[in-house]
């Protein structure tokens, strides 16, 4: 039964999406007499946490059940004063006698401290229920807090024979329409999306979410000498665009030019800058050169590789992680493989 309600907390947590970043996605379910009497999720950064929303959702006629209820939470509750009060206080104040969590919050300021507080107060605590899912849901926050950078997702498509583009740079549509719609859904779930100079020039992408419900991510592009044509779609007014360059710092409407050295520390340093802008998740949709840079520096957390049923015969080889995929699934003619690079905390 614990797994059933923890699974529900996962479903709730995902509703927060990119709006909660750089906080973690968290869901909470309150159960008494074998029925759900309250549930909630963290809706946006700076707003009440999942536990608060769950307690507030309990109807007046059920509030007397709180002292005999169990609260199921996808992540260890917080015990620190931030933008909102600690959720451990809420649990104690409401006299909820049992807490079930999926995963420990691995950020240094929590990392089991909340469970210790609850245990010492006489609360029954059960942990590690479906922990793999709970850990993955909270991993972007762990990366942001522990590594001072966004959670990096590398996303790209390749042909059946392993190529991602033709040698002359000619644009080739590799994935199918269903996968294209899925990738737009992904764009609505992250804070920022990044391409390199060559991709911006040759493909002229909008990098917006046009095929699925959700907001547009912040666009990030490399333009060392500020040579990209300002008529490119990446500079339109559909979303904010951050341009990393070696020339100047300048803000022009929705365009933010950020001066940075294009040296061996480029990727590391730009990720630090993005974190300072409260960007907790970054999807990289660049070409082989940019992807290779992230792989080489081991500055990636997840790779979503789309393999088409089509062949290109020759061209630019797609880089691949030296790992076994944690998940693979078929979407019509395309196979989508997800690789995880858990760097811990």
pLDDT of res. 173: 81
In angstroms, the CA 122 to CA 97 distance is: 8
Quote the DSSP letter at residue 315: S
User: Residue 178 corresponds to which tokens in the numbers above?
Assistant: 């269903």
Backbone phi, psi, residue 100, to 5°: -120, 125
Summarised one tens digit per residue, pLDDT across range 59-113 is 999 999 999 999 999 999 998 877 778 999 999 999 999 999 999 999 888 999 9
pLDDT at 342 over 90: no
> How is the beta sheet containing 124-126 ordered, strand by strand?
35-41, 27-32, 70-75, 98-103, 124-126
Summarised one tens digit per residue, pLDDT across range 224-267 is 999 999 999 999 999 999 999 999 999 989 999 999 999 999 99
pLDDT of res. 170: 66
3-state secondary structure of 164: strand
State the CATH class of domain 148-340.
Answer: alpha beta
User: For residue 144, which of 98, 108, 114, 101 has the smallest C-alpha distance?
Assistant: 108
In angstroms, the CA 75 to CA 188 distance is: 23
On the question of a common fold for 2-144 and 148-340, the answer reads no
User: Across residues 55-60, what is the average pLDDT?
Assistant: 98
| Poorest-pLDDT segment among 18-32, 264-278, 308-322 | 308-322
User: Residue 162 corresponds to which tokens in the numbers above?
Assistant: 């392993």
Assign 286 a pLDDT band (cuts: 50, 70, 90): confident
In angstroms, the CA 33 to CA 276 distance is: 46
Catalytic site residue from 3, 33, 39, 51: 51
Quote the DSSP letter at residue 311: -
In angstroms, the CA 48 to CA 160 distance is: 46
| Poorest-pLDDT segment among 19-23, 163-167, 336-340 | 163-167
pLDDT of res. 199: 92
Kindly give the interhelix angle for 2-14 and 131-147, rounded to the nearest 10 degrees.
40
- The model's pTM: 0.90
User: Across residues 30-50, what is the average pLDDT?
Assistant: 96
pLDDT of res. 171: 67
What is the CB-side half-sphere exposure of residue 271 using CA atoms within 13 A? 26
Summarised one tens digit per residue, pLDDT across range 114-171 is 999 999 999 999 999 999 999 999 999 999 999 999 999 999 999 999 999 888 766 6
pLDDT at 190 over 80: yes
User: For residue 125, which of 76, 62, 65 has the smallest C-alpha distance?
Assistant: 76
Residue reference for tokens 């904010």: 240
User: Across residues 320-327, what is the average pLDDT?
Assistant: 92
pLDDT at 53 over 80: yes
Nearest 5°: the CA angle 103, 109, 115 is 45
Backbone phi, psi, residue 103, to 5°: -135, 150
CATH architecture of 2-144: 3-Layer(aba) Sandwich (3.40)
Q: Where are the domains positioned within the chain?
A: 2-144, 148-340
Across all residues in the chain, what is the average pLDDT? 94
Active site residue 335: no
Quote the DSSP letter at residue 278: T
pLDDT of res. 161: 93
């Amino acid at each position: 039964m614990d797994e059933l309600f923890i699974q529900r907390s996962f479903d709730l947590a995902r509703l927060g999406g990119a709006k909660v970043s750089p906080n973690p996605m968290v869901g909470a379910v309150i159960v008494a007499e074998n029925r759900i009497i309250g549930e909630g999720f963290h809706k946006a950064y700076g707003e009440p946490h999942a536990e608060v929303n769950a307690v507030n959702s309990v109807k007046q006629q059920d509030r007397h059940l709180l002292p005999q209820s169990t609260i199921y939470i996808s992540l260890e509750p917080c015990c620190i004063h931030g933008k909102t009060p600690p959720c451990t206080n809420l649990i104690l104040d409401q006299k909820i006698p049992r807490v079930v969590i999926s995963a420990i919050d691995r950020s240094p300021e929590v990392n089991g401290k909340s469970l210790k507080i609850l245990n010492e107060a006489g609360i029954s605590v059960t942990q590690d229920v479906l922990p793999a899912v709970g850990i993955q849901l909270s991993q972007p926050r762990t990366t942001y807090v522990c590594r001072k950078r966004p959670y990096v997702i590398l996303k790209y498509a390749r042909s059946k024979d392993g190529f991602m583009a033709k040698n002359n740079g000619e644009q080739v549509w590799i994935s199918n329409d269903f996968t294209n719609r899925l990738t737009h859904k992904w764009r609505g779930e992250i804070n920022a999306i990044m391409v390199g100079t060559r991709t911006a020039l040759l493909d002229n992408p909008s990098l917006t979410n046009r095929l699925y419900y959700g907001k547009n991510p912040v666009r990030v592009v490399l333009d060392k000498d500020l040579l990209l044509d300002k008529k490119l779609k990446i500079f339109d007014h559909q979303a904010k665009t951050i341009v990393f360059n070696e020339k100047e710092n300048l803000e022009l409407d929705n365009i933010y030019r950020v001066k940075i050295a294009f040296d061996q520390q480029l990727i590391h340093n730009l990720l630090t800058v993005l974190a300072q802008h409260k960007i907790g998740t970054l999807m990289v949709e660049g070409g082989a050169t940019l992807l290779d840079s992230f792989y080489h520096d081991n500055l990636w957390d997840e790779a979503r590789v789309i393999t088409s049923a089509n062949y290109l015969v020759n061209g630019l080889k797609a880089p691949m992680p030296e790992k076994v995929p944690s998940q693979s699934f078929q979407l019509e003619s395309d196979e989508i493989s997800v690789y995880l690079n858990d760097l811990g905390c």
